[in-house]
Each structure stands twice: as C-alpha cells, then as structure tokens.
Structure 1
C-alpha cells in the first residue's frame, strides 16, 4: 500500500494527531516490540492513552486501557505459572461479549498461545469435536455454558468466570512479560451453516495497511465510542475489536443482543458507531425508534447479505450511516458498500477498498466480462493462513477463492449471487436462490425468508421458500409464487412455499440451511 495514501488516511481519522512526545515514543515502542497482534494493539493504546476508557460492559463496569492491559498481563502470568501455558498452545474461548473475553484473548497472545474463538451456539457434541480437532489445552468459558462441557476430553483444563477472576486477582507481580517466541494467532471457526465448523488461522497484520483499508471507506476516528454488537467470536466482531484498539476507542459491550435494550443503551451512552450483523438491523427495525434518535455516525455490518430493502429502510430511519462489508473468515474483506452505493443499489456489496484486488473468474480461471456471473476471487493483506486441519482454498494469481458467485458492473460495483454450493440447476437452468430470497423479502408481510434447493425427480432440483411472517400478517403460498412469477423467470418460481414461525439461525445470525433441508428427509 502506497505511503502517501496511508498517511493521508491516518491523518483524516486522527491517528497522526500530535501527542506528548513520551507517550508517542512509548506507543511506537510497543508496536515495534509486540507487533500488530491484539496484544500489541492493546499495548500501544495503553502506552498512548492509559487513562482513556477502553471497555464498558454490564458486569465489569468501566476499564481504562491501562487497567485492561494490567488485568490481561496478570491473567497471562497466572496461566503461565498455574497452568503451564506456553507459546504454541491453543486456548479456547467460549464466551459472550464482555471484558473477560477480551482479557482472555490478549492474555493468550501475550504468551504466544493461539486463541480459538468458539461459537457460543455450538452443541455439546460439536464443542467436544472442536476441542479435539483444535487440540485445546485450556477452555475459558462463561458459567452459562458449563453443562455443554461434559463431553470434553478429560485433559482440557477449564476456567469459568469465577476462576478467571480469581486467577487475575491472585497473580503476583512478576517479571515484565517479554514478546513471545511466536505471535499468538486468533483461530476463528467457520460458521458451520452446512456442516462442522473448521478452524481458520487469522494472520497478524504487519503494519497499518489492513486498518487503513477499512477506515478509508468506513469513517471511524480516534477515540470514537463504538458498540460492538456482533459476536466477538465471529470474524466481524473480532475485526471490530482490532479496529477499536487501533483507534483507542471506547468499546461498549452487551452479552446478549436485544433490540430494545440496544437502542436504550445507545440513547443512554451515545455511540459514534455500531458494529452489527444484518439480522440485528432487521430486529432493530421492528422496535420503535427512540426519541431522540441515537446520534450514530456509522453503522457497519457484515456476515451475511442484506435482505431486500433493509438498507434503504434503515437509512430512512437513522440516516445515511450504513456501511456493508462483504468478506469471509478466509479472505477478511473483499468489498465495502458505503451509503451512496447502497442508495444507488441496496443489494450491492460495494467496491474493493484500497489495496484489495478482486476478480470474477470462470471455471477455467479466466476473467469473465462485466455483468457476467462467475467465481469471486480476492487478494489483500489479510488472507487467512489456511485451516488448522492443513487444508486450504484454491488460489489463482495470489487471489483466494471466496466460494461465492458474483458479478461486477462496468463501474466496479460488486453484486453477490450466493454460494457456489447454493446455486441449483433446475430443468437445465442455473438458478440463484439469493435472487428469489431478496425479492420475497420485499413483501411487507414477510419478516424473514430463506430459499434453498431441494431434490426433484423431474427437474433434478427445485426451489423451496421458507417464510416467517410478521405478527398478525397472513399470506397465501400461491400469492408468493405469483409475485415471483411477475418479476423473475418461470424456473425461479419456488415450487414449495413453507410457512414457519422463525428461521433457524446460528449465533451470528446466518440461516442454517441444513436444518431447513430436514423438512425433506
């Protein structure tokens, strides 16, 4: 990434504002010694703004950056002395959003251990599988998940909330922690909407480039107050935490997302930015807005597609503050849609940020013409390092396969048609369920919808639409089919229309298609 662009962006966002020379020197020294891991980012923030509020949550109250670092260091020393944690070990984190999760991640990385971010929606069986496949040495967990741990391998040490607090409080002052022999990594589990989750090794940034790519398009500033509603165990929530540390922001956390409580919190403690996943915006739109409206400057979402009409409806209520990042655990980011993009095309994934390459390729690896659907390949500074199983993803010319299909317009806007695995062939025609899903979502009676492909003896595959209606609304299956028939080709009309109370989702809000397929045996 070119230096003038980096400097200009950092200046616009307030990161190059002059400070006390001794503080600036300490900040740069922390980055030089500890690098750009989450532990290094926390150290630089504490060195530059030790008294700045770092985290606010329901149970931990308020912690400054220096207090947060002190607690993480004490926990790290306790893990090393009491549990024998060393560089290269893997420590699982089964926690909701609160200060203890952040301290635990940083403590692991201070020792050079990898933090395995565990989805809080995993069953006991899935959790046992993850613990074995990831070779967990320790599992740090919230008390509410204790019953799910019964099937864990016996050699996995467990630290509950009380245990973590006792270890942190009892840790004796010791030698200053030194940078470990290897950087501790964050291992993010893939969403597992179609099968068992896989561990993806996240790289450590090697400079300002990744941060600049994001804050150039999403206007976040130094010392903003940021609510992270997206789960931190998810790639997007973890990225929000990284950005917040880099900006020395005040982070507001709630263990569980509740739309009314979130709006009340945003009114009680005005926030500059909200990091969320799209389903959270849907739920916020179902709650009457507070008066006055929260003075949000940025609402940044990622993790799944924005349902039809949600972008314009949300901005109609809260202003042109919405930014949608399209990416994945494997590629980090691919494109970002800003409010102007979303006003122009509410279903767009936006444009690649500075320093990101994006190509649409056919099956042979050749670029396709503008407007034609193909496989999305991405290149940036934060491509994942592979799965912990040793497997990887297809790469071409330094670009990584996202597993998605999409198209680019002549002026560079990206549109995502869905997963390669989701596309069906019905009677010889390629059909993209996401296109039908987006259309049905625009019906005012529909609260949420998912469209999937199911086996068909005559056509090979057919579409099935699952609809959850808004309270008090009614809708006829044939009316749904007629509505789709009016706008799309006949092969895009769902043969099956199933009404359900709600769609099965994982902890990050993604619909679990495998659960829907159980309707068909």
Structure 2
C-alpha cells in the first residue's frame, strides 16, 4: 500500500519524470548515501538539476550546484567538531540555508534561533543548548553581547571560511547532524526539540499529496526558516528541486511584488502574514499561485474564505507543532465547507480526541488532541518529554472531530479557564470577535478574578478609522455565547504583542486589575 501511495504521489507531483539517466542514477545514489535529511536532499537536487536556480533572496540567486559547493566548503572549515551544536541566528536568506546544510554535512547539530529573542533569552538558550559556535547576521551582533564562551561567526567571517576552504565533502558523517528547533517561547525561555530525519519518501508524499506543490516549482518561503513550518517548507522545496524565493523581512507589499515578479507557484506562510496581505488593496493582477500553505496558529474569523475569494481556492492550512510535525491538513474544499477546520489527517497520520479517562469521545465533543505519525519529535534537549497515550503524542491542544472526520482546534489545554465552575475556551470567543467588521486582530485570555477565580479579558486592535464600544463587544458575545464567556475586560490596543513567528505573546498583554 505504501509503495502504491508513494509512487502515485511522486508521479502526480512530477518527481518521476524522465531525465538524463546518469543524473538520475547520481540523484538516487546521493539519497542512498546521505539519507533524506537536508544534506541528502540538496545533493539529490544538485545531482539531477545542477544549474536549476535553488535560491533567490534579497541580494543574489544561486544554483543548486553552487549552493552545494558553498555548503560543503563551510562544512570543511567550521571550527566545530561533529556532534557539537551550532546556533543559527539568521533571517531568511541563502546564507541561512548554506549554514544550516553546512552544519549538518559536518555532522554537527544546528540549533535554529528565533530572531525575536531578547538578549537575555539568547544567552540562556546558548547556555542551555551548549553551543560551540553561533552563526549570525551582523544586525544581531549587539543582541548577543551576553552570550559568552561561544565562537561568533558574523557575515564577513562566514565568507572567509567558505573562500578559504577546500571543496567537496565526499563522505557522510558517522553521525548525521540533527536539527534542533526551539519552541515558541511565548510563556518563557524556549526549549529545544530534536527533529527526526525522514526515513524515506513517505513523509514528503504525505504532505504533497494534500498540498499540491510540484517538482521545480517556484516557492516563496515567507515563514521564518527557524520556525518549524518554514524549516518544513525548505525540506519540501529541496526534495522537489524547487526554486526557493526568500526575503529577509516580511513586508506585505514587497511579498506581493515578489510573487508576481518571480512567477511563484506556492507560498509558505503563517496566518498573520495572510491576514496582513488581506489588508492591502487587491493586486491589479492575481499572482499565479496554486498553493498558499499556512501553519503555526489558527486562521482567525472568516480569513480563509475572504482570502480565497480574492486569490482563488489556493489556501491550505496545516495543523501541527514543533513536537508533532503535522496532525491534519485542510484543503480549500475543507475550508469552504468549514472555514475554522484544521482539516483531516494525511496518509500515515492518526488523530484521536480523548477524554479524561483516555477513551475516544464522540464526534462534536471536546477533548485532548493526540497525534501519531513517523515524524514525531525525539524529545526535548533538556530531557523532558510530552505525554504519550497508545503511541500517540499529546499536542497540548483541545479539539473535536465533526461528523465528517474533520479536525477542529478549540484552544490550548493550558488556556482553558474555569470561571465560576464553568469551563471557558478563550479561542472560541476570539473567533467570534474576529468576525466583527471593525476588528483587525484580537486576543482573548484568562485573568484572575476575586469572585469567580478566573474571567476572560479581550484585547482588540481595530481597523483604521473604525470605532467600537466595549459594551457592544460584550453584547455581541452575550448574544452568541453563554454568559460566562462574556469578557468583563475589553481593552483596545494599537497592536498585539507578537513574536517573530506571528504568535501573540500573552504575557506581554496588559493585565486588568483583579
């Protein structure tokens, strides 16, 4: 069954097209020797399509052949031993990808550092992860002043290492480098999660079966490469021998220009980016997109429908996490039928909604979401782990399945509050308020309450020129939800505090008095 699924998917996505026989032999030989990690995927792409443009960023474009050469030279010259850890503090660029693949080619472990971390957080992460070196963009040099005992490699030193190194790494390392992705850190210092290396074609095919990216597409990766979804987008793009379009910082108007100028077929993004694109006037010419794949947080309100009405039925929503990789994927048809759905589990993935006793709950009932697939993380670098049940990993979310088997995420387990003895899910109220035409973005959280233990507080950012009365907000919730879901506190802000991946940082929201 796996062979039929994999073969059929690869054929539909253009991965089994005829080509130069010698190159095809070298392509599969590279995968056989180097495996399905980034180092192996780059080598197979360079073997099959050496002159194909691999990356277009703000400063340059380079072929697969050149990308491989630079990554190998970096691996030969880095002052790091196999098995050691190297932090990467870089924005989306060719250099970030060269560093990532160079480190893994050496057999060292790259640690993907969030560019939004504070100096204190960066110093703590560097110490916790035991970094031997730190490769960074020059703009971050002042921010790593507190990082001690780590060799810092800025942009000039990076180029010197490549220029002065011999070419060609002919043998894989004894121990393949393992990528460490940091959790979001929205509630404190991020933890390191060890990502597994794919063991074959099935993980790739499970995703591209639902998200129809094709071989040699042009794909703009707007999600940060240090983020699980941006990193996954890079893995998919290299496997497809795609041309990756990058921009150091997300600027909505510039992104629209890139999509048109480079003729992009796909975009990898996080939901807040899609939301910001919708705040621009409609483009004079619709981009030639077949796929806009988002992940990382819920799609607010009716965003999915509004986006597809403007850009066509091209939106795909992947629900997953750093620890679980993916759990479900919503296609445009799913989102048209149920705009808030997270879709259905792809091939090889199982999702279960379990109650307090660990038994499955009926369709429509809310429970804890568990997922199982071959790409579950290998544990946190600090030795801690996530709850498992029957081989399934707890996502940390609450959710439910509808009668058609679609997954819905109802909020984080630790976000649910108990107000006057009633269970209240802030995400449910967020979705309701996001549909108000005056509201650009909203966050709802639980805060302490002297009488009820906890209550909801709503934080709203209004669209330019719009006004809204706090009592009108409460009345809207009162008409559509139970009384205990009505937020007593309604706070208007100029912007919500977000991290570099677009997630709202709840601890930075102003707290009302109890």
With normalisation by structure 2, the TM-score equals 0.99
Whole-angstrom distance in 2 between the partners of 1:516 and 1:501: 12
Whole-angstrom distance in 1 between the partners of 2:95 and 2:308: 34
Whole-angstrom distance in 2 between the partners of 1:356 and 1:44: 27
Which of the numbers 173, 195, 199 marks the counterpart of 2:192?
A: 199
* 2:44 is the alignment partner of 1:31: no
Runs in 1 of length 4+ with deviation above 2 angstroms? 517-521
Whole-angstrom distance in 2 between the partners of 1:230 and 1:306: 15
* 2:471 is the alignment partner of 1:478: yes
Could you give the per-residue CA deviations for residues 464-493 of structure 1, whole angstroms, max 9, x where no partner exists? 000011111110000000011111111111
SS at match of 1:336: strand
Which of the numbers 248, 251, 264 marks the counterpart of 2:244?
A: 251
The Cα of 1:299 is off from its aligned counterpart by 0.2
Matches within 5 A, 1:84-123: 85-123=80-118
* 2:62 is the alignment partner of 1:63: yes
* Residue of structure 2 equivalent to 1:488: 481
Please, what is the CA RMSD of the aligned residues?
1.0
* Residue of structure 2 equivalent to 1:279: 272
Contact 2:2 2:202 in 1 (8 A): no
* Residue of structure 2 equivalent to 1:77: 76
Whole-angstrom distance in 1 between the partners of 2:244 and 2:163: 23
* Residue of structure 2 equivalent to 1:134: 129
SS at match of 1:147: helix
Which of the numbers 218, 224, 244 marks the counterpart of 2:217?
A: 224
Whole-angstrom distance in 1 between the partners of 2:155 and 2:356: 50
Contact 1:378 1:399 in 2 (8 A): yes
* Residue of structure 2 equivalent to 1:389: 382
Whole-angstrom distance in 2 between the partners of 1:335 and 1:149: 37
SS at match of 1:193: coil
With normalisation by structure 1, the TM-score equals 0.97
The Cα of 1:518 is off from its aligned counterpart by 4.4
* 2:3 is the alignment partner of 1:3: yes
Could you give the per-residue CA deviations for residues 45-64 of structure 1, whole angstroms, max 9, x where no partner exists? 001110111000111x1111
Contact 2:489 2:512 in 1 (8 A): no
* Residue of structure 2 equivalent to 1:168: 162
* Residue of structure 1 equivalent to 2:44: 44
The Cα of 1:195 is off from its aligned counterpart by 1.5
Whole-angstrom distance in 1 between the partners of 2:268 and 2:512: 34
Contact 1:454 1:517 in 2 (8 A): no
The Cα of 1:517 is off from its aligned counterpart by 5.3
* 2:370 is the alignment partner of 1:370: no
Q: Which runs of 5+ in 1 are unaligned?
A: none
Contact 1:96 1:255 in 2 (8 A): yes
Whole-angstrom distance in 2 between the partners of 1:168 and 1:332: 33
SS at match of 1:26: helix
Whole-angstrom distance in 1 between the partners of 2:161 and 2:513: 50
SS at match of 2:126: helix
* 2:230 is the alignment partner of 1:263: no
The Cα of 1:519 is off from its aligned counterpart by 4.9
